[in-house]
Amino acid sequence: MPRLPLPRYNLDRFRRQLASVDALPQLCVLGVVSGLITGGLMVVFRLLLALGALVFLPGGNPEAFEGLAPAARALLPLLAVALIGLWLWRQPVAGRQIGVAHVISRLTYHQGRFPLRNWLTQWWVGLISVLGGLSAGREGPAIHLGAAASSGLGQRLRLPHNSLRVLVACGTAAGISASFNTPIAGVIFAMEVVMMEYTITGFMPVILASTMGAVVAQAVFGFERPFQETGVALGSLFNLPWIVVSALAIGLLAGLFVRLARSGVRLDALPLAARFALAGSLVGVVAWWYPQVQGMGYDTLGLTLAGELSLDVLLAVAIGKLLLTAGAVACGIPVSIIGPILVAGGAAGALCGLLGAQLMPSLAAGPEVYAMLGMAAMMGAVLQAPLAALMALLELTHNPNLILPGMLAVVVAGLTARQLCGCDGFFISVTRHGLHPLQQPLMQALSRVSVPAVMERDLVRTRRRVTREQASALLEAKPIWVVIERSSDDKPALALKAADLARWMLEHDDDDKIGKDGKLDLLEIPGQRLDMAPIHLQATLSEAFTRLNDKAVDALYVEHGHRPKQKRISGIITRDAIERYYRYSDTPPA
């Protein structure tokens, strides 16, 4: 019985498929793998936190700073900043960049490629900052570690850069999902804060990655519901005006946080050791009386939602933790800010709820309602990510009753921080015409596809001078372009239309244009010639567009291979081909 032929799958074909804008099945496969890898990394990170807590924290709880003696918890941040500072001091300036801002920067300017040195730094700083009692969360490490590991998979397989972008989003979503069991919030955060765009091609792989990350975490730690408050409801619509006032106040606090965190330029005159000592000392002083400001603070947030914290502790968390986190960032300590702002926002919301109960004793909802709304409002205002904040509110509380007031609170707080305080999203530092480079519509569209999807492959390579027989042999392959290689690397390669060479061959059947050596000079042939610069096969159209402008050339030749002496030209991409793609023309590349 004859055997049925099986479809051939190989890595080169997989790469070619990924270069296209509609490579959804291939990206979904990568999303699943990315989620599994990131989920495993987050399990390791959480286990390392638990292992470190076993050494000196009561019950092996990474958040049990309240159980330490006042002197111990006050000195602990100083030890933490010393360990972090010693590590960072041995790194170059570029090697100190970690966290969400680093992920966005690498996606914006480096096509989603991450240095290993920064990845290792994130492990050290992430563990020490949380265990050392600084006001820090584990969200930044989760996002950086997951995004870099997922991108590293793509780099290892030499996948085109348009797929690296999606892998970064997959790692981001899976990291959040595996850390907090919030798969939907992970997806929205990845698309809204990191990718800054929404596409079907991006959503589906990211959803799969987030799902796999949650599955891995649940397989190890079980199904966790940190703040299950299903019985809490708004009660009366008369609370809505006070929710607006509360959100306005939280938006002002968010603006203060962003302004203070970005004031680090003024502290650059101080030595690194002095800045780190200042940040550690401030945390230590506050922690002597209020250890709730230390660490991630999710235990404190749980007590806030349960209404078990006193007024002075709520004030210390709402103001102290917020300012201590911003101060650490301003002093150059790369701590994660998402967890602390959630905790501080919850405390600020609870304070607003207590005040509302005094003003409207018969109508006001409980402080726990305002605490949950404050948590989402603070996150949405600081990050300028309203959907991510709403999804975090829903998944952390498992309470759909709060979505309606949550939408109002998030929008009011976000508008307050943006319009009254002039604050963009915390992680958006560079804008042009009000838009981050990742938000530019043209670059977004061109980043979704790589050059192999639109490059012209019908070409031949030759030296400048050839015989008539050699020229005829070149044309037998029916190329569209003839790539003319130059005698030295400092001279740009040229592309000649094969039709122009064929026309000249037909019109000149004599030898009057041939030199004494019996060869014709292709640079003397009348016709369209394009100056070219090289670009690698993995590049996106946005990279090609930028390189065309930077080199001031008309076309690029696409190199394939990694060894300098073994590189070959795979195709040509012209400016017209990029413009046709962007305009969704059906005309094939010329």
pLDDT at residue number 51: 96
Domain count, the chain: 3
CB 223 within 8 A of CB 181: yes
Is pLDDT of 410 > 80? yes
pLDDT at residue number 216: 96
pLDDT at residue number 560: 78
pLDDT at residue number 586: 43
Same domain, 169 and 262: no
> What's the CA gap between 182 and 426, in Å, rounded?
21
> What's the CA gap between 57 and 68, in Å, rounded?
7
Is pLDDT of 579 > 50? yes
The domain that contains 321 carries what CATH number? 1.10.3080.10
Burial class (CB in 10 A: 0-12, 13-18, 19+), 187: buried
Helices (H), 335-453: 338-359, 367-383, 386-397, 403-415, 441-447
Q: Which of 221, 246, 275 is the last residue of a domain?
A: 221
Q: Which of 421, 444, 467 is the last residue of a domain?
A: 444
Kindly report, residue by residue over 265-296, the tens digit of the pLDDT. 677 788 989 999 999 999 999 999 999 999 99
Q: Is residue 8 part of a domain?
A: no
8-17, 72-81, 300-309, 445-454: which has the minimum mean pLDDT?
8-17
Any idea what DSSP says for residue 335? Answer: -
Q: For strands 520-521 and 529-536, give the pairing.
A: unpaired
Q: Is residue 416 part of a domain?
A: yes
Mean pLDDT to the nearest integer, 417-444: 79
Q: Is residue 256 part of a domain?
A: yes
Is pLDDT of 352 > 70? yes
Is pLDDT of 8 > 50? no
**Coarse DSSP helix, strand, coil percentages of the chain, rounded to the nearest 5 percent:** 65, 10, 30
Same domain, 431 and 459: no
**What mean pLDDT value characterizes the chain?**
88
pLDDT at residue number 288: 97
pLDDT at residue number 584: 55
Domain that holds residue 266: 237-444
> What's the CA gap between 443 and 476, in Å, rounded?
39
Q: In the structure encoding, which two tokens stand for residue 251, read together? A: 């938006």
Same domain, 272 and 366: yes
Q: Please give the single-letter amino acid code of residue 368.
A: E
Same domain, 369 and 258: yes
Mean pLDDT to the nearest integer, 62-87: 96
Same domain, 493 and 417: no
pLDDT at residue number 81: 97
Quick one: pLDDT band at residue 6, thresholds 50, 70, 90? very low
- Polymer length in residues for the chain: 590
Same domain, 386 and 496: no
Burial class (CB in 10 A: 0-12, 13-18, 19+), 376: buried
Same domain, 495 and 528: yes
Same domain, 492 and 558: yes
Q: Is residue 231 part of a domain?
A: no
> What's the CA gap between 515 and 454, in Å, rounded?
38
Any idea what DSSP says for residue 321? Answer: I
Neighbour order of strands in the sheet with 568-574: 459-463, 481-485, 493-497, 529-536, 555-560, 568-574
Kindly report, residue by residue over 117-159, the tens digit of the pLDDT. 999 999 999 999 999 999 999 999 999 999 999 999 999 999 9
Residues in a beta bridge with 465: 521
**What Å distances lie between residue 45 and 80, 223, 467, CA to CA?**
18, 18, 66
Q: Is residue 588 part of a domain?
A: no
Q: Is residue 4 part of a domain?
A: no
Q: Is residue 3 part of a domain?
A: no
Same domain, 482 and 431: no
CB 149 within 8 A of CB 4: no
Q: Which residue has 């959503």 as its token pair?
A: 203
The domain that contains 559 carries what CATH number? 3.10.580
Tell me which H or E stretch contains 162.
Answer: helix 161-180
CB 579 within 8 A of CB 442: no
**CA dihedral over 202, 203, 204, 207, signed as positive or negative:** positive
pLDDT at residue number 304: 92
pLDDT at residue number 564: 56
Same domain, 417 and 457: no
Mean pLDDT to the nearest integer, 162-182: 93
Q: For strands 568-574 and 555-560, give the pairing.
A: antiparallel
Same domain, 429 and 494: no
Q: Is residue 229 part of a domain?
A: no
Same domain, 288 and 437: yes
Kindly report, residue by residue over 521-548, the tens digit of the pLDDT. 888 888 878 888 889 888 999 999 989 8
**What Å distances lie between residue 243 and 213, 296, 351, CA to CA?**
35, 26, 12
In 465-525 the beta strands, taken as DSSP E runs, fall at 465-466, 481-485, 493-497, 520-521
Any idea what DSSP says for residue 535? Answer: E
pLDDT at residue number 4: 47
Q: What is the DSSP string of 227-287?
A: T--TT-----GGGHHHHHHHHHHHHHHHHHHHHHHGGGGGGTTS-HHHHHHHHHHHHHHHH
Q: Which of 195, 221, 247 is the last residue of a domain?
A: 221
Is pLDDT of 487 > 90? no
pLDDT at residue number 381: 97
